[in-house]
Amino acid sequence: MSGGLQTQLVQQPNKGTAAIAIIIRDGRILLGLREYEDAPTVWVAPGGSVDVGETLEQAVRRETKEETGIDDLESIDYIGEVNAEDRDPLHVFHCESSQEPALVEPEKFAEWRWFPLAKFVSGQPSSFINEPLRDAIVNYYHQ
């Protein structure tokens, strides 16, 4: 584990910060089809807001487990911080898991699906929620 990754994992950020898991396996990225009451249905990566007193690592693990049931998440690297208009700052982690996602929160998600990373990089699915996040992921994987 790199020193930069370790530093980010133990960080306790301010309120209004989110931690996101970019789970990659066999050249595919895990995305969930998120259904919002007052907004369009969009594809998202697992993750969410950091609770008070929680580290980024605790948050990304908790949120991923709550949303997908995956509990063997391994943080591989820190992709970076992404800021998008009208959204909390996102701390994005490259992660791995040997488990398959489950539909743990059917009231929030219609499905979880593995997308080929090459298709994701080329803009699919087009309804991905956060294009600055997609850009950060693309830049990270093209290093």
* Residue 60 clears pLDDT 60, i.e. is over it: yes
8 Å CB contact between 137 and 90: no
* Residue 12 clears pLDDT 70, i.e. is over it: no
- Pairing mode of beta strands 109-116, 28-34: antiparallel
| pLDDT digits 0-9 by tens, 93-104 | 999 999 999 999
For the entire predicted model, the pTM comes to 0.87
Reading the block at residue 33, the tokens are: 């089809």
Spatial neighbors of 34 by CB under 8 A, at least 6 apart, are: 41, 42, 43, 44, 108, 109, 110, 129
Which residue type, as a one-letter code, is found at position 133? L
pLDDT of residue 143: 64
Domains and CATH numbers, the chain: 3-141 (3.90.79.10)
pLDDT of residue 142: 79
8 Å CB contact between 91 and 77: no
The arithmetic mean of pLDDT across residues 97-120, rounded, is 96
pLDDT of residue 38: 82
